[in-house]
Amino acid sequence: MKSIKYLLSLSLLVYIFTIVSCGEKTPDGPTPEEAKITELSKTWNVGTIANSVTFDGVDRTDDYAGFTLTITSSKSFTATDGFSPVWPASGDWDFAGTADTPDLNTIIRSDDVEITIANVSETALQLSFTYTTPGSRAKSTDGPWIFTFTN
């Protein structure tokens, strides 16, 4: 009888440890999405180096002298001295993909422009996208853009 009680107690103890150890664990450090948001959340400046801004392969850096892009951790942006409509003065953004599996290399602005994050580091950010004017009239802004920023 003692051995049955001992075995039952031991089984119950193993069961309790199994249930407790299967609980949800908190991750160490930020998630990949949080880390990417932190990398992006800065004020970025277009440099004066040739080809910091290109449109359809043509250097347009002079047109964007003084252009700054501030990206916030609350997934909004502010563009100063940009060229609307390519860069609206402000808006929101989110990662492409789904909430469960975001595409951390692609963001979508609130005007539905899909932007590829070609490179991001502590000191540099390169974004590329194809801009298309809403509606049926094409403008001289329609086509592939590449912006290379520093901070």
CA-nearest of 77, 43, 78, 50 to 64 is 50
Alpha carbon distance 147, 47 (integer Å):
10
3-state helix, strand, coil in the chain (%, to 5): 20, 40, 40
pTM of the model: 0.79
- Structural domains in the chain, CATH included, are 32-150 (2.40.128)
CA-nearest of 138, 139, 80, 149 to 115 is 149
Per-residue pLDDT tens for 20-44? Answer: 555 555 668 999 999 999 999 999 9
ω into residue 134 within 30 of 0, thus cis? Answer: no
Alpha-carbon distances of 30 from 27, 34, 39, rounded to whole Å: 7, 6, 12
Q: What pLDDT, on a 0 to 100 scale, did the predictor assign at position 143?
A: 94
Q: What pLDDT, on a 0 to 100 scale, did the predictor assign at position 61?
A: 94
pLDDT over threshold 90, residue 126: yes
Per-residue pLDDT tens for 52-66? Answer: 999 999 999 999 989
pLDDT over threshold 80, residue 106: yes
Alpha carbon distance 104, 100 (integer Å):
12
Q: What is the largest CA-CA distance in the chain?
A: 90
Average pLDDT, the chain: 86
Phi, psi dihedral angles at 89 (to 5 degrees) = -60, -30
CA dihedral 72, 151, 146, 39 (to 10 degrees): -50
Q: What pLDDT, on a 0 to 100 scale, did the predictor assign at position 148?
A: 96
Question: 3-state SS of 12-66?
Answer: HHHHHHHHHHCCCCCCCCCCHHHHHHHHHCCEEEECCCCCCEEECCEECHHHHCC
Alpha carbon distance 138, 1 (integer Å):
88
